[in-house]
Structure 1
Amino acid sequence: MKGTRDVQVIPWQGEEQIVVATDASGGVGEKAKDHVHVPYEVVSYYAARVALLECMSVGATPFTFLVQNFSGDEPYQKMIDGINRALGEANQAQATIAGSTESNMVLEQSCLGVTVIGRVHQSALKIGITPKDAGIALLGKPLVGEEVVSQEKDVFPLKQFDELLQEEGVYEIIPVGSKGVKYELEVLAATNEWNTLQVPVNGNVDLTKSSGPATSLLITFDGTMEALLKAKYSSWWTTLASKIST
């Protein structure tokens, strides 16, 4: 079993590997004591988004979704609806869904956990494959809490993610989570076995801010493709480095 990035990569049959990714949400939902009040469909959509991005970004195809619902029986179907929306936008509607609800105890705040399981051929695994002359860009803006809803236009769309995965000039994609861009850059350096990673700081990017439900993504790309990629994803694109310095 190999732990890399925010996923587990587990050897399976022959050269096929299983990829497991997960996400959790707490204090966000429709209960009176939640910190952020949004419909449960939105809560589950964004939780599913995180897990899907993590799984798919390393080249895996999701085949099943597991749901851990601690918000009561009534919201369960709403949460499933949100997950189905995410699966549809990610072109992964084939994935099955199974789940469980804590119905013996009533919690005062909403809580949800999701796990996605996918499979990938070893040769297609997209971890640690970035050459040292690649560029780095941030797609989307780090957002958290109410910002995710109020600044939705700055969230990199899940609908575009499958297309991004197919881009010939993109080497790796790393969803940015609660630890921020700087942390994910350190992960990128570690998985590519670079001693250091010096990235010119873009004054428009807060490198330590939480990116909530993976509202932004780091990508490494072929520098000769920068103009083309930037034009295609201009609504969300911020160049961090046209060439990596290690």
Structure 2
Amino acid sequence: MRHELKIDEWVITSDNSAAIGEKTQDAVAAPDRVTAKFAARVALLEQWAAGSEPEVILLHNFSGEAQWGRYVEGINEQFKEIGIKTPQLTGSSETNMPTLQSGVAVTMLGRQKRELPAEGLQWFIYGKPLVGPDVLNKREQIADIRKIYDALNKGIIERVWPVGSKGIASEAERLLRRKLDLSEEVDSELSGGPASCVLIGVRPEQIRAMKQHFGVYVYSLETETPR
């Protein structure tokens, strides 16, 4: 479940993963680097959802001292993927008690940089909801975070909203604060896992450019009313 905290001009976002990693008793086997990368992805998308950019990263490593370097590598990889330098990074590791399963959390502190228009936008789904092994096996269906970053900076889209474990329907209602007649192009009840799909808000005059920019896996959020 995603949470966001604002303190004055600061925006604080966080994501965590448990029992996903390289330990023998993990429920989902995945490279530690990939686990941390996806945790960073969610926290970063939540920063953008608030119109902010991260300035500090806190890494909370419950897996053990050996995993620290691999987690840092994954976070760096996420920022390299979008073409920007990794913000300042600090944190801590559990080194006193051995754990049987992996556990990691990534917290980002940022400042608001962009206005968040609420009116006059049409909303779309980009990417497909995926969770567990599907995140690794169907990567082509995951929303491309570099494309999202470029679309925000170029004004192709105005807003982005990551979809978490409660699915598209829950996030859409939370975002728009009304009941929606959702399109059936994508299952709106499935978990979005590590924000494998996002909601994007677009001005009507930019819809064509948006579809050209993202290419595939773009779907209307709501069922279009017949004219």
- Regarding TM over 0.5, the answer is yes
Equivalence for 1:198 = 180
Query: Which one-letter code corresponds to 1:229 in the other structure?
Result: M
> How high is the sequence identity, in percent, across the aligned residues?
31
Distance 2:154 2:49 in 1: 12
1:14 corresponds to: none
1:238 — aligned with what? 219
Output aligned runs, 1:178-197, within 5 Å: 178-190=165-177, 196-197=178-179
Q: How does 1:157-236 map to 2 (within 5 A)?
A: 157-190=144-177, 196-199=178-181, 201-236=182-217
Match of 2:108, SS? Answer: strand
Count of residue pairs brought into register by the alignment: 224
1:111 alignment partner in structure 2? 103
Preserved CA contact (<8 Å) 2:183 2:223? no
CA contact 1:142–1:211 (8 Å) conserved in 2: yes
Q: Distance in 1 between matches of 2:151 and 2:4?
A: 19
Superposition pairs of residues 51-62 of structure 1, within 5 angstroms? 51-62=43-54
Contact 2:173 2:180 in 1 (8 A): no
- From 42, 47, 51, the counterpart of 1:50: 42
Opposite residue 130 of structure 1, the aligned amino acid is: A
| Gap regions ≥5 residues in structure 1 | 12-16, 191-195
* Cα pair 2:20 2:26 within 8 Å, conserved: yes
> How far apart are residue 94 of structure 1 and its match?
4.5
For residues 223 and 201 of structure 2, the distance between their equivalents in structure 1, rounded to whole angstroms, comes to 10
SS in 2 for 1:177: coil
Map of 2:30 onto structure 1: 38
Q: What's the TM-score once normalised by structure 1's chain length? A: 0.85
Query: Normalized against structure 2, the TM-score is what?
Result: 0.92
Q: Which residue of 2 aligns with 1:134?
A: 121
Structure 1 position 243, deviation (Å): 7.1
Counterpart residue identity of residue 137, structure 2? S
- Structure 2: how far apart are the matches of 1:50 and 1:110? 18
Q: Give the conservation status (yes or no) of the 8 Å contact 2:48–2:160.
A: no
2: CA distance between counterparts of 1:98 and 1:236? 36
State the superposition RMSD in angstroms. Answer: 1.8
Unaligned 5+ segments in structure 2 are none
Check the 8 A contact 1:7/1:20 in 2, yes or no. yes
